[in-house]
Structures are given as C-alpha cells and as structure tokens.
C-alpha cells in the first residue's frame, strides 16, 4: 500500500508485466514499420507517456524521430471532458506518419482531439499506441492501433501515471483502494 495526497493505492500491475506488454506493442509496431523508407514520428504525450515512450523506443527496429506534445483533460482523479493543449508540437508533422504514444486511453477525448490536430497539421497517417486501455469507458469511433493491455475503469498511478502530479516515478502501477 502507498499513500499519495489523501488517497491510498494498492499494487495492481507489476513492472515486469508492464515491460512484457510494452515488448508486445513493440513487436506489432515493428511489424508495421520495420521496412519503412520514411522516418516516422513517435509522438510522446507528456508527461504521463514518458516512461512508456522511453521503453518503447528502445525496442523499435526502424529509424524514427521523437517529438512531444502536452495535453490534459484531468483534474485530480476525474476527467474534465475538456482537452487542453498545454504545450504545442515540438516539430512539423506535415507529410509525415505519426505514431502517438499515450500512457492510457479511457474516455478517448484526448486521443481523438490529438489525432484531429495532427491530421489538420498535415500528417499523412496517424497510428494510436497506448500502454493501457479502459474499454468500458471508451465510446469513440477512432481505432486504437496498438494496445499494451486492457484494464478495468479504476483510477491508477505509477509508471508515468499521476494523481495531481505525484506517483509518476513508481515502477509498478497501483490502483486506488476504495
């Protein structure tokens, strides 16, 4: 058990299981991009996706460029339903293929807004890659191309995921203990 702010969390997904899921995602991404002639962009959605993107990058077997963007739709433990672009893209995506790396997809508001933004800015193709996915709350028509693992709709922290900016540094993922 760990305590962050006013909430208690219990172990949920071990670091080894996280790395196993990332290796599975990397295999699928490599199968699609291994022989590509272009240099796709791997887009890290800050801050939560830093650990996931870092681990994924070390497993990719093709040339790629790392770019980042910061978006937010959370306050505390709840999604606000409004997606804010906190920091713009750190590179031009015009004429490029982009692989979005997201830590978690739940409602899908951020991922849908981000895909639209990238296509509006001229990306030729946008693939969505997420470490974690909450299928019971995802009601969007946008397809997720690479998913590490599906999880129930519970609030989690660790391995990049936070509760009011704390808990991102935890190796394992913890779930709120209601």
d(CA 27, CA 30): 5
For residue 9, report the phi and psi dihedrals to the nearest 5 degrees: -125, 145
Taken in order 13, 15, 20, 24, the sign of the CA dihedral is positive
User: Contact at 8 Å (CB) between 2 and 166?
Assistant: no
CA angle 40-104-96, nearest 5°? 15
Q: Is 164 a catalytic residue?
A: no
Catalytic residue among 35, 106, 125, 172: 106
By annotation, the residues acting in catalysis are 106
């Amino acid at each position: 058990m760990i305590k962050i702010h006013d909430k208690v969390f219990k172990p949920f997904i071990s670091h080894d299981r996280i790395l196993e899921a990332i290796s599975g995602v990397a295999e699928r991404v490599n199968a699609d991009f291994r022989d590509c002639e272009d240099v796709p962009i791997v887009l890290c959605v800050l801050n939560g996706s830093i650990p996931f993107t870092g681990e994924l990058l070390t497993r990719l077997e093709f040339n790629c460029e790392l770019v980042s963007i910061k978006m937010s739709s959370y306050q505390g433990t709840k999604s606000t339903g409004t997606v804010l672009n906190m920091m713009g893209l750190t590179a031009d995506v015009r004429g490029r293929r982009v692989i979005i790396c997201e830590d978690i997809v739940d409602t899908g508001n951020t991922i849908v807004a981000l895909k639209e933004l990238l296509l509006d800015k001229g990306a030729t193709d946008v693939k969505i890659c997420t470490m974690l996915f909450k299928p019971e709350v995802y009601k969007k028509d946008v397809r997720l191309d690479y998913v590490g693992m599906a999880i129930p709709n519970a609030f989690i922290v660790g391995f990049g995921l936070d509760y009011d900016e704390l808990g991102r540094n935890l190796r394992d993922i913890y779930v709120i203990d209601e």
